C-alpha cells in the first residue's frame, strides 16, 4: 500500500460546522460570499481545490458571470476555490450529501469512487498532446464516460483540460535511477501509485492542498503537477529542480448530483449546460495559453533549475512506464483502452 497522509480531521470538522452555520458563518470565518441586492431564486455552490487564478479557477468564475447575466440574477453561483469548503478527500461525499451542487474533480478521483475506467487518463505517456486528449474527451468515448458517472450518483456535465504534468524535486529527475528512494506526492490513483513504484520512488497519497506544506516539511521529496499548479501553489519556494517530463495528463470533469439536477426546470438545466459548455471552452483555451506563459515564468525563476529531457532520456522513462499501461489494461477495460488508442491514432493521422 502507498503511504497515505490524511488531512487534519479537525479541519474537516470545521468545514462541516462552516457549512451548517450558513452564509453568515461563512463571511465571519473569512470566506468571501458575493453580495447580492435581492435573494436569488436558485443558489449553486461550486467547490474546487485549486487556486482561483488557475485555469479551472478562472473557468468557474467565468461560469459564475455567465449564469448571473443570463438569468438576470435569478440564479447565483458561489465559487469556493482552494479547498475553502471541501478538499480532495471529502468533496465527492459532500456532493452526494447535498452539501454542494457543483464540483470539478480531477479525473483520478473517479477511479477511487468506483469508476476505474476513468483511470485511463492517468496512464503515463499515453497522450502526446491536448489534441489527442480532446479527440477522446470531446468524442463518443468522452460522452460514454460522462454517462457512466450516473452509476455513482453523479451527473457528468463536461470535461476540462488541466495540462501535462511535470516532475519537481530537489534534484533533476532525468532517468529512472534519479527517482529511486524519493517520496513523491501523488493523487489517490492506483495508476499513479504504480507509476511511481515502477520508477523506484515511494508514492505518498495526500490531498492537493497539503502538498506545499508537505514539501516544506520534507514529508515528501517531490511531486507531479502542471506548471500552472506548480506556480500558483508557490512550489518554487520549496523545490529547487523542475524536470519537464510531460509524463502524464491531468484533466477534470464538472459534476453535479442527480437529486439536485433533476429538481431543476428544463429551462434552467439548458441555461446551465450552455453556460458551462462555453465556460469549459474558455477554460481549455486559457489552460493552453497559461501553460505557455507558465513555462516562460519558470524559466525566468532565478532559484529554480529547469531541466528539459533529451529524446533518449524521455524514451527511457517511457520504457519504464510501459509496464504500467499493460498491468492496468484489464482494470480500465481492454475495449476502452483500444478505443482511446484508436482516437489517438486518428488524431495523429489527421495531423499528418
Give me the CATH number covering residue 346: 3.40.190.170
The total of structural domains in the chain comes to 1
Question: Is the CB of residue 233 less than 8 Å from the CB of residue 211?
Answer: yes
Which residue has cell 519537464? Answer: 244
Whether 16 maps to a domain, the answer reads no
Segment 7-15 long-range contacts (CB within 8 Å, at least 24 positions apart): 7/87, 7/88, 7/89, 7/206, 7/207, 7/209, 7/210, 11/87, 12/87, 12/89, 12/90, 15/85, 15/86, 15/87, 15/90
| Of 203, 3, 206, 192, nearest in space to 111 by CA | 192
Strands 42-47, 75-80: pairing is: parallel
The answer to whether position 132 is within a domain reads yes
Give residue 262's domain range.
34-351
Please indicate, yes or no, if residue 27 is contained in any of the structural domains: no
CA distance 279 to 273: 10
pTM of the model as a whole: 0.86
Q: Is residue 10 part of a domain?
A: no
Question: Which uninterrupted H or E stretch holds 3?
Answer: strand 3-4
Contacts 24+ apart (CB under 8 A), 66-73: 66/275, 66/278, 66/279, 67/271, 67/272, 67/275, 70/271, 70/274, 70/275, 71/42, 71/268, 71/271, 73/36, 73/38, 73/40
Q: What 3-state class would DSSP assign to 42?
A: strand
Cβ neighbors of 116 (< 8 A, separation 6 or more) are 190, 331, 332, 333
Q: Is residue 17 part of a domain?
A: no
The CA-based diameter of the chain, rounded to the nearest angstrom, is 62
For residue 3, being part of any structural domain is answered with no
Q: What is the pLDDT along the chain (352 residues), one digit of tens a residue?
A: 566 544 454 355 345 534 434 443 443 344 444 544 456 799 999 999 999 989 999 999 999 999 999 999 999 999 999 999 999 889 999 999 999 999 999 999 999 999 999 999 999 999 999 999 999 999 999 999 999 999 999 999 999 998 999 999 999 999 999 999 999 999 999 999 999 999 999 999 999 989 999 999 999 999 999 998 999 899 999 999 999 999 999 999 999 999 999 999 999 999 999 999 999 999 999 999 988 999 999 999 999 999 999 999 999 999 998 899 999 999 999 999 999 999 999 886 666 5
Identify whether 238 is part of a domain.
yes
26 assigned to some structural domain: no
Amino acid at each position: 500500500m502507498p503511504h497515505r497522509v490524511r488531512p487534519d480531521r479537525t479541519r474537516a470538522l470545521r468545514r462541516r460546522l462552516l457549512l451548517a452555520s450558513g452564509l453568515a458563518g461563512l463571511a465571519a470565518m473569512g470566506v468571501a460570499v458575493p453580495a447580492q441586492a435581492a435573494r436569488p431564486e436558485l443558489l449553486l455552490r461550486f467547490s474546487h481545490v485549486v487556486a482561483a487564478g488557475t485555469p479551472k479557477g478562472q473557468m468557474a468564475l467565468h461560469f459564475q458571470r455567465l449564469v448571473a447575466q443570463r438569468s438576470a440574477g435569478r440564479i447565483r453561483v458561489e465559487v469556493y476555490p482552494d479547498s475553502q469548503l471541501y478538499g480532495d478527500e471529502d468533496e465527492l461525499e459532500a456532493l452526494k450529501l447535498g452539501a454542494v451542487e457543483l464540483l470539478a474533480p480531477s479525473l483520478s478521483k473517479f477511479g477511487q469512487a468506483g469508476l476505474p475506467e476513468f483511470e485511463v487518463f492517468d496512464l503515463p505517456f499515453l497522450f502526446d498532446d491536448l489534441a489527442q486528449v480532446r479527440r477522446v474527451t470531446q468524442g463518443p468515448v468522452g460522452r460514454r464516460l460522462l454517462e457512466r458517472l450516473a452509476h455513482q450518483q453523479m451527473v457528468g456535465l463536461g470535461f476540462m483540460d488541466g495540462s501535462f504534468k511535470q516532475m519537481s524535486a530537489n534534484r533533476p529527475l532525468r532517468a529512472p535511477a534519479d527517482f529511486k528512494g524519493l517520496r513523491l506526492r501523488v493523487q489517490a490513483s492506483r495508476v499513479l501509485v504504480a507509476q511511481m513504484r515502477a520508477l523506484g520512488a515511494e508514492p505518498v497519497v495526500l490531498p492537493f492542498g497539503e502538498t506545499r506544506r508537505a514539501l516544506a516539511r520534507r514529508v515528501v521529496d517531490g511531486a507531479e503537477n502542471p506548471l500552472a499548479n506548480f506556480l500558483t501553489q508557490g512550489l518554487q519556494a520549496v523545490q529547487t529542480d523542475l524536470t519537464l517530463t510531460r509524463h502524464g495528463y491531468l484533466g477534470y470533469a464538472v459534476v453535479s448530483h442527480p437529486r439536485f439536477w433533476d429538481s431543476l426546470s428544463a429551462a434552467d438545466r439548458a441555461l446551465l449546460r450552455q453556460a458551462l459548455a462555453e465556460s469549459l471552452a474558455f477554460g481549455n483555451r486559457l489552460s493552453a495559453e497559461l501553460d505557455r506563459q507558465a513555462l516562460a515564468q519558470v524559466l525566468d525563476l532565478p532559484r529554480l533549475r529547469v531541466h528539459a529531457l533529451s529524446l533518449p532520456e524521455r524514451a527511457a522513462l517511457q520504457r519504464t512506464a510501459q509496464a504500467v499501461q499493460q498491468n492496468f489494461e484489464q482494470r480500465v477495460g481492454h475495449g476502452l483502452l483500444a478505443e482511446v488508442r484508436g482516437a489517438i491514432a486518428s488524431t495523429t493521422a489527421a495531423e499528418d
